Amino acid sequence: MKIRQPAVAGYFYPNDPVKLKNQINIFINKADAKPIRGKIYGIVSPHAGYEYSGLTASYGYSLIKRNQIENVIIISPSHREYFPGCCIYEGDAYATPLGIVEVNKEMSAMIKDGSKNIFFGENGHKQEHALEVQLPFLQTVLDDFTVVPIVIGDQSKLFVYELAEQIAKGMDERTIIIASSDMSHFYSAVEADKLDSIVEKKINEFDFEGLQTALESKKCEACGGGPIITLMKSAFLKGRINAVVLHRSDSGDVTGDKGEVVGYLSAAVYGD
């Protein structure tokens, strides 16, 4: 088997499996997300070190705990390398300190089928943390599942919308999407709140087109804006047209330094 080994274990989250699972369970138990009335189609989850964004992430993951989910499509931005299009990991599995998660080859092929901009490879996967950090949460809240790991190398509307359309074709009731994204970076908490509240508003209004425009015009920031829009657009194509922000925070809530923060947000996309 070709297995993608952990790149940020011991850095973004504990390398010890007992400490890792304990930390996640503490976050999950602290989260008080209100139940969603409807079928959850996907969640938006931050991807910083667990110390900073783990509690916010847990608001989304607490809603899918022990749900009958068999497949998870994880959509991540590429922080370390640029490439046009979207890359689905070509290997057999991703590994974390909590074990191995197999790649769903059948669903991966279905998403790629007929697309010139979605391809198999390792582009963006080798050192990318934004996808990896979602896996231990999933391994804690779900019993047995496969993944389709996708990294977007160019978050232009062309690639994002095509990915959304391809994902919508392959979605079923046992599949969920995780859109990995942090919010604004290195502004004061006051400025970060202004920027991140725009993203929050667009998500709550289920306005993915408006979010795309706001990101392109630099009115707000989200390093995983493409994954968020992909999630919302694909949900729209499947008739799931509700979204709600579950929790928002910034790194200063942990460090106490509000002079320069990174913003985090957790949200759920759902429908009947």
* pLDDT tens digits, one per residue of 176-205: 999 999 999 999 999 999 999 999 999 999
CB 142 within 8 A of CB 66: yes
Diameter over CA atoms, the chain = 49
Q: Please write the tens of the pLDDT for every residue from 44-54.
A: 999 999 999 99
Predicted confidence band at 272 (pLDDT cuts at 50, 70, 90)? confident
Predicted confidence band at 170 (pLDDT cuts at 50, 70, 90)? confident
Q: Please write the tens of the pLDDT for every residue from 227-245.
A: 999 999 999 999 999 999 9
139/14 Cα distance (integer angstroms): 14
Domains in the chain, start-ordered, CATH in brackets?
3-271 (3.40.830.10)
Is the pLDDT at 115 greater than 90? The verdict is: yes
Q: What is the pTM of this model?
A: 0.97
Percent of the chain topping pLDDT 70: 100
CB 142 within 8 A of CB 70: no
CB 229 within 8 A of CB 212: yes
Q: Which residue has the tokens 């194509």?
A: 237
108/191 Cα distance (integer angstroms): 39
